[in-house]
Structure 1
């Protein structure tokens, strides 16, 4: 996959409570190397504001809701609302993103195909834009 995409995850319905899961390669297009989550985000705050050179990421709203805003090199924004735990957003490398509009008690789960390395981050939007310059 080379584009941002919402992926619907399996939903096992049960009167005792539903169950959803994802397995690397079966539901998402990479093998999972790292998992992290964000929570207790104060009202009005944003998370992210970067892209990765190589890392792929899959984001799920386990609780509550938030928006993942993907900014194109020309500055155009595409907003993806995550508010169901059986949907996730796949982000390939070189996609500028930030998360905002967090509801109370929002919990975002992030699975990625790489361990953390600062060298993989693109933290300057002009540098990001330069990757797409002709």
Structure 2
């Protein structure tokens, strides 16, 4: 699964014990952020995602709680659990993704490289397999 990677987000701890601060600046992600959205109040038995993108790149962070990211490049399937707000996963274009096993109170932040474009989505898994094998 090339180009999929976990990225550490700088974490600044307050010396007086008042909490932590994490910052995402332009050198951390390999794309300019064009859209931001977040998922919350997702029931633990629900699945989100279930698609791939032709061009869009995505960076996911578990701001609170945890969830699993199921990744599929057409040959290999891999599950990565996100549960730290200072670590995120970079998902390049051409990768099928599903999000599942949301804990209570989980919040998933998504930073993406493109504005919404329905034509960029591949929503059927069989179409995805055809796309990655062409």
TM-score after normalising by structure 2: 0.93
- Residue number in structure 1 paired with 2:102: 102
Instruction: State the distance in 1 between where 2:61 and 2:44 align.
Output: 19
What's the CA shift for 1:132? 2.7
Instruction: State the distance in 2 between where 1:84 and 1:97 align.
Output: 19
Q: Secondary structure at the match of 1:111?
A: strand
Instruction: State the distance in 2 between where 1:21 and 1:50 align.
Output: 28
- Residue number in structure 1 paired with 2:20: 18
- Residue number in structure 2 paired with 1:42: 43
Residues 73-128 of structure 1: CA deviation (Å, up to 9, x unaligned):
13x42001100000000001010000001000000000001111111100011111
Unaligned runs of 5+ in 2: none
- Residue number in structure 1 paired with 2:69: 68
Instruction: State the distance in 2 between where 1:132 and 1:95 align.
Output: 9
Instruction: State the distance in 2 between where 1:43 and 1:70 align.
Output: 19
Aligned residues: 131
What's the CA shift for 1:131? 1.9
- Residue number in structure 1 paired with 2:124: 124
Instruction: State the distance in 1 between where 2:121 and 2:131 align.
Output: 13
Instruction: State the distance in 2 between where 1:4 and 1:46 align.
Output: 20
Q: CA RMSD in A?
A: 1.1
Q: Secondary structure at the match of 2:132?
A: coil
What's the CA shift for 1:133? 2.2
Unaligned runs of 5+ in 1: none
Q: Secondary structure at the match of 1:129?
A: helix
Q: Secondary structure at the match of 1:108?
A: strand
